[in-house]
């Protein structure tokens, strides 16, 4: 079987740059790699496996010469370029919310529903970066003892918004430390030394789009439309890695020891849970790693048989680039990218 020709759309963004690293680290089989971004980056060079790759325009001709496209750009760009790439026979793995909830688009976390890769129609989606760590922590419990209800409060890093927000946190922090009033552009309010209980726009329900994504995507990935979920999504002044405080109610009681064993035995999850040494997952430790880290596993004191846990994961890696590349690996393994006559 030949190796696929791959393109990264959004290669200069926060996720795109990590995708280049992850492709190198995982020795992803490549016939060729091309990089696309917005016009202001055309001609820019990015290093990959000792070579300089030039950033190009994403267009039909380019997609016709590729087999797999990773798209990590704006939702608007995904809407346009995702269909365009698929129409050229390219299998698209999209990082935006553009296609996630469409019935003919698999929404995949390979450790959980890798088989859903099999029925793609040209476009697959990866979950939102706050959903992926949550389902990675829920699934090992859910598959032996169905989860009935989940409440979650998030502590999301600014890199979830992109490179500009990361620069803004940095600039605002410098301003505050210098006694200056910081300017806010990436968010409605200052994020440095503050927390914002808003991620994405508001819906009529009073929840945000981000909070609703957690509900819809978790149900789709786990094939569990009946799970009751409520989320509060909060932006915190952290550069990379999202954290989540999670309450879980299951069909039957589950103790912390059983949960710890199930989570420890699940590939892609690492349990860090030793209160005696103040060991628990934290953004500064999770950043740059592909695993989802779970700790603070304890009985829910407010609900007999329920659980509470603390989940941290690098939103640019497992929350985005790594998960996308893992999906690509599933596709390659199944030969599910081999070109059909267009």
How many other β-carbons are positioned within 10 Å of the β-carbon of residue 97?
19
Q: Is 261 in the site for a copy of itself (CB under 8 A)?
A: no
> How far is it, in rounded angstroms, from Cα 4 to Cα 293?
32
Which string of x and - marks every residue 143-172 that binds a copy of itself (by CB under 8 A)? ------xxx-x-x-------------xx--
Contact between residue 309 and residue 294 where contact means Cβ atoms under 8 Å apart: yes
Burial track 35-68 (b if 16+ CB lie within 10 A, e otherwise):
bbbbeebeeeebebeeeebebbebeeebbeebbb
By CB under 8 A, the count of residues binding a copy of itself is: 56
Tokens of 202: 């508001």
- Residue 200: how many CA atoms within 13 Å on its side-chain side? 21
Q: Is 305 in the site for a copy of itself (CB under 8 A)?
A: no
Report, in Å, the least distance between residue 9 CB and a copy of itself.
Answer: 29
Q: Is 256 in the site for a copy of itself (CB under 8 A)?
A: yes
Q: Is 310 in the site for a copy of itself (CB under 8 A)?
A: yes
- Indicate if 223 belongs to the active site: no
Which helix (H) or strand (E) covers residue 81, if one does?
helix 75-87
- Binding segment (CB under 8 A) for a copy of itself, from list 1-9, 273-281, 321-329, 330-338: 273-281
- Binding segment (CB under 8 A) for a copy of itself, from list 110-118, 262-270, 277-285, 317-325: 277-285
Report, in Å, the least distance between residue 112 CB and a copy of itself.
Answer: 20
From the candidates 120, 129, 142, 233, give the one annotated as an active-site residue: 129
> How far is it, in rounded angstroms, from Cα 175 to Cα 193?
11
CB-nearer residue toward a copy of itself: 17 or 219: 219
Q: Is 196 in the site for a copy of itself (CB under 8 A)?
A: yes
> How far is it, in rounded angstroms, from Cα 338 to Cα 333?
11
Report, in Å, the least distance between residue 229 CB and a copy of itself.
Answer: 5
Contact between residue 69 and residue 9 where contact means Cβ atoms under 8 Å apart: yes
Instruction: Report the side by side order of strands in the sheet with 228-232.
Output: 228-232, 147-155, 242-250, 307-313, 292-299, 269-271
Q: Is 222 in the site for a copy of itself (CB under 8 A)?
A: no
Report, in Å, the least distance between residue 142 CB and a copy of itself.
Answer: 15
Report, in Å, the least distance between residue 172 CB and a copy of itself.
Answer: 11
CB-nearer residue toward a copy of itself: 103 or 188: 188
Q: Is 189 in the site for a copy of itself (CB under 8 A)?
A: yes
Nearest by Cα to 10 from 321, 332, 326? 321
CB-nearer residue toward a copy of itself: 80 or 175: 175
> How far is it, in rounded angstroms, from Cα 36 to Cα 107?
23
Q: Where are the beta strands (DSSP E) in 143-199?
A: 147-155
Q: Is 295 in the site for a copy of itself (CB under 8 A)?
A: yes
Strand partners, 313: 242, 292
Q: Which of 30, 163, 186, 245 binds a copy of itself (CB under 8 A)?
A: 245
Instruction: Report the side by side order of strands in the sheet with 5-9.
Output: 45-48, 51-56, 32-36, 5-9, 68-71, 91-94, 123-125
- Indicate if 90 belongs to the active site: no
- Binding segment (CB under 8 A) for a copy of itself, from list 46-54, 66-74, 298-306, 328-336: 298-306
Sites of contact with a copy of itself (CB under 8 A): 149-151, 153, 155, 169-170, 173-174, 177, 188-190, 193-198, 202, 205-207, 215, 228-230, 232, 234, 236-239, 243, 245, 247, 256, 275-276, 278, 280-284, 295-303, 308, 310
- Point out the residues that are catalytic: 129, 242
């Amino acid at each position: 079987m030949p190796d696929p020709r791959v393109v990264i759309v959004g290669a200069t963004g926060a996720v795109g740059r990590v995708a280049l690293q992850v492709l190198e680290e995982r020795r992803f089989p490549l016939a060729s790699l091309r990089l696309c971004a917005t016009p202001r980056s055309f001609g820019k060079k990015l290093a990959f496996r000792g070579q300089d790759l030039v950033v190009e325009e994403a267009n039909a001709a380019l997609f016709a010469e590729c087999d797999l496209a990773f798209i990590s750009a704006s939702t608007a760009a995904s809407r346009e370029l995702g269909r365009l790439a698929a129409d050229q026979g390219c299998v698209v793995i999209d990082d935006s919310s553009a296609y996630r909830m469409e019935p003919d688009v698999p929404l995949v976390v390979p450790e959980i529903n890798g088989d859903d890769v099999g029925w793609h129609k040209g476009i697959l989606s990866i979950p939102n970066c706050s959903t992926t760590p949550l389902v990675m922590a829920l699934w090992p419990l859910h598959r032996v003892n169905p989860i009935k209800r989940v409440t979650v409060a998030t502590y999301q890093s600014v890199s979830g918004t992109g490179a500009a927000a990361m620069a803004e946190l940095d600039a605002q922090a410098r301003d505050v430390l210098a006694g200056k009033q910081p300017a806010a552009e990436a968010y409605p309010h200052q994020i440095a030394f503050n927390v914002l209980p808003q991620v994405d726009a508001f819906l009529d329900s009073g929840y945000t789009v981000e909070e609703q994504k957690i509900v819809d995507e978790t149900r789709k990935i786990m094939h569990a439309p009946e799970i009751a979920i409520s989320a509060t999504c909060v932006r915190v002044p952290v550069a990379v890695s999202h954290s989540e405080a999670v309450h879980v109610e299951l069909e039957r009681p589950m103790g912390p020891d059983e949960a710890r064993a199930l989570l420890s035995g699940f590939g892609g999850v690492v349990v860090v849970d030793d209160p005696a040494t103040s060991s628990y997952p934290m953004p500064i430790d999770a950043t740059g790693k592909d695993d989802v880290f779970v700790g603070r596993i304890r009985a829910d004191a407010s609900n007999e048989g329920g659980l509470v846990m603390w989940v941290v994961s690098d939103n640019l890696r497992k929350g985005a680039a790594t998960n996308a590349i893992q999906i690509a690996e599933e596709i390659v393994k199944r030969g599910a990218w081999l070109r059909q006559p267009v």
